[in-house]
Structure 1
Amino acid sequence: MSVFLRLTFSPGEVRIAVTQDDKLLDYALWRPAAPDGVGDVYWARIATLAHSMGGAFIDLGTGEQGFLPLSSDVTTHTEGQCLAVQVTRAAQGGKGLRLRKLDTPPSPAPDKPGLLSRGPTPLARLAHIFPDAALVADSPESAALIPPTLQPRRSKGFRPWPEAIAHACAALEEPIVTLPGGMQASITPTPALIAIDMDAPPTTTGWSKQTAQFAANRDALPALLHQIRLRNLSGAILIDPAGLAVRKRQALLEPVKAMLQADPLKPRCLGITGLGLIEMVRARIHPSLPELLNAPHGRALAALRTVLAQHPTATQLRCGLALLGALEADPQAVADCMRLRGKPFTLKLDPSLPDLAWIPQSND
């Protein structure tokens, strides 16, 4: 019944799977060159007081700004004032960093705004949640990224992911989720909320249709809620159970609320909407897996993985503008890809390609 934190390396990224008996308990992407900033501490300057919003926009000294809620305290601050802040929510969903003010400023105070300390990495966060888990690296590259404080927990040698774990992690990138009892769920992220539609096969139990559908939804919901955690789906989430009358859906609320207690973010189930949807809220802290995968940096890293695995003779990558920008912003990932494949390649802008498209070319 041992728990493991399994690390597998690819250019620019470490995927971390928390497992027990080949069951996936938790999952995270770690991109060393692109931390999401949560937990970072800055000596910062108030750029603009936003009285109508109850807060201020803060210049972090890195070219980035964040929003600091001040509520009734807003009138005691002035533009240009410096203060210590910490990032509490990553930039996501089109919204910037969210900050909180720290009561104790650094001593002595820095001469100008800038980063004071980094927050925990995804590996450090999962190691804290699972304090008894042993760390398993798949390669020297992933082992080298384990900090000294966690090295005593690392198992000797290198081991790839078990096939079942690799399959479960790959499935997290798909919008269709296979659930117990032959059910499926379709996950659709939108700027405002996450919509999840559950579907069930025709009932063959001999029970009445509503009784069978209730049992199917009840039995499938634990796996669906676990998928929400694995994918870090956050904010407003609406779940449409399969084939149940609205009055029958009320009976799903208590089981759902009980299941949510195992989630470290403690999501809240708000009830059933007038349309019969299960309404829940999960705290937005780190970007969701779909957002990480579909952002330009995520698409760029996916391109490098494909080049490494499928294009050993490519000497050039023709890229759309956004993809090229993402690759140039992470030169270490590009260098890792070249080193692992044992052959260099060049990056070239191709204005005829869509922003996130790319085409490998070879001199052969």
Structure 2
Amino acid sequence: MTARILAASAPGEIRIAVTDATGLRDYAVWRPGWPDGVGDLHRGRAGARLTAMGGTFVDLADGASGFLPDSAAPGPLAEGDPVLVRIVRAAQDGKGARLSATGPTLPQGQSLAGPPALLTRGPTPLEALAAAWPDAPIVIDDAAIAARLPAPLRGRVQRDRRAFDAETEAARAALADASVALPGGLRATITPTPALVAIDMDGGTASSDRRAKQTAQFAANRDALPALLHQVRLRNLSGAIVIDVAGLAIRKRPALRETIETALAQDPLRPRFLGFSALGLAEIMRPRIHPPLHALLSDAAGRMIWMLDSWSRQVSGQPGPAPGLRVGTDLARALDHDPGAIADTTRLSGHQPAWRLDPSLPPLSWTLDHA
């Protein structure tokens, strides 16, 4: 079975899975109403330069800003200078977008004169995966997806009633779980923190292996680590990542280097394995570019999409009027920001969701409104 790019429509979101005979190879979420900006080309204005940080803040369109390191700048910038910049890392973890001024050229008909403005958008997640898997057909379940694709990709599109089969849907849903089942009966628990992502590998059938305990533990970790590092890619975990392997003595752990480096070599972001710490933790640095999946699922947009998806599944096919929604303040703001998500919900469910703000609810909470 050759690789296929499967694009499944949901309210406010297109879920993109690359699959082949081995299962889920790649995964991304495309939210048309909430682009993360990576690849966008802006006409910016230089703001304050921070010598201690080695760069300059740049004003972008719509009141946004980003940080331009000196190493990626075209030369010294004075406050107020125009500069052409591209976003190379999305805003995330409370930090603004990272910018680069190396390489971009002005689109035809554009000028550096004028206020900050967005000049061109970067590739969507579907375009990026289509470029990474150039021979894979694109299977969609909603004509609205095809309408959003650039003309060169439309010849690769195939239509199916359901883009995700049950196995792909189960694999997608499992990506939201902090606990990951691994080969050999091992299990990993993933804990993101503001500073790093901590992963604990634990337990497993290695304890019943008839070989010597350390030999069995080494084999269990060796067999499980490629699957765990593939989960790192699927979930887009990034920045500093530390892994506590299961049960193996600290002095034995460096023998896992080749296994880790071989698995990381399959990742297009080319993460770096930094070695094992004095505590025996495997240290990995994976570039931050797009927000990780756990952040997308837990922010206001993610909670809004989950709410609309849950409501849509509940009312789809039901005769008569559907119950409305009462929402907290943050969900209300997200709904106001993304009218396209409401339109998607109406198209997919056959019912237009009515909603009203209920300030008594927690900001990211909602409930059915039967009034």
Please state which band the TM-score falls in when normalised by the shorter chain. Answer: over 0.9
Q: TM-score, normalised by structure 1?
A: 0.95
Q: Give the AA of the match of 1:349.
A: L
Contact 2:325/2:367 (CA < 8 Å) preserved in 1?
Answer: yes
Q: Give the aligned partner of residue 200 of structure 2.
A: 197
Q: Give the aligned partner of residue 215 of structure 1.
A: 219
Contact 2:84/2:112 (CA < 8 Å) preserved in 1?
Answer: no
Q: Give the aligned partner of residue 13 of structure 1.
A: 13
Deviations along 1:214-264, whole A, 9 cap, x unmatched? 111110001001000000100000001011110011111121111111100
Q: TM-score, normalised by structure 2?
A: 0.93
Q: 1 CA distance for matches of 2:123 and 2:306?
A: 24
Secondary structure of the 1:226 match is: helix
Distance 1:103 1:278, change over 3 A: closer
Q: Which of 324, 338, 341 matches 1:333?
A: 341
Count of residue correspondences: 363
Q: 2 CA distance for matches of 1:140 and 1:75?
A: 46
Secondary structure of the 1:112 match is: coil
Is there any run of 5+ residues in structure 2 with no aligned partner, and where? Answer: none
Distance 1:325 1:89, change over 3 A: same
Deviations along 1:90-140, whole A, 9 cap, x unmatched? 011111100011456535334221001000110111011111101111222
Q: 2 CA distance for matches of 1:110 and 1:118?
A: 19
Distance 1:262 1:45, change over 3 A: same
Is there any run of 5+ residues in structure 1 with no aligned partner, and where? Answer: none
Q: Which of 86, 111, 116 matches 1:113?
A: 116
Mapping for residues 128-277 of structure 1, pairs under 5 Å: 128-201=131-204, 203-277=207-281
Q: 2 CA distance for matches of 1:87 and 1:272?
A: 33
Contact 1:320/1:354 (CA < 8 Å) preserved in 2?
Answer: yes
Q: Give the aligned partner of residue 50 of structure 2.
A: 50
Q: 1 CA distance for matches of 2:349 and 2:138?
A: 26
Contact 2:72/2:99 (CA < 8 Å) preserved in 1?
Answer: no
RMSD of Structure 2 on Structure 1 (CA): 1.8
Q: Give the aligned partner of residue 345 of structure 1.
A: 353
How far off is 1:362 after superposition? 2.0
Q: 2 CA distance for matches of 1:74 and 1:59?
A: 16
Segment drifting more, 345-354 vs 121-130: 345-354
Contact 2:67/2:97 (CA < 8 Å) preserved in 1?
Answer: yes
Contact 2:297/2:303 (CA < 8 Å) preserved in 1?
Answer: yes
Distance 1:167 1:275, change over 3 A: same
How far off is 1:185 after superposition? 0.5
Q: Does 1:296 align with 2:300?
A: yes
Q: Which of 298, 306, 317 matches 2:325?
A: 317
Q: 1 CA distance for matches of 2:73 and 2:347?
A: 53
Q: 1 CA distance for matches of 2:203 and 2:145?
A: 41
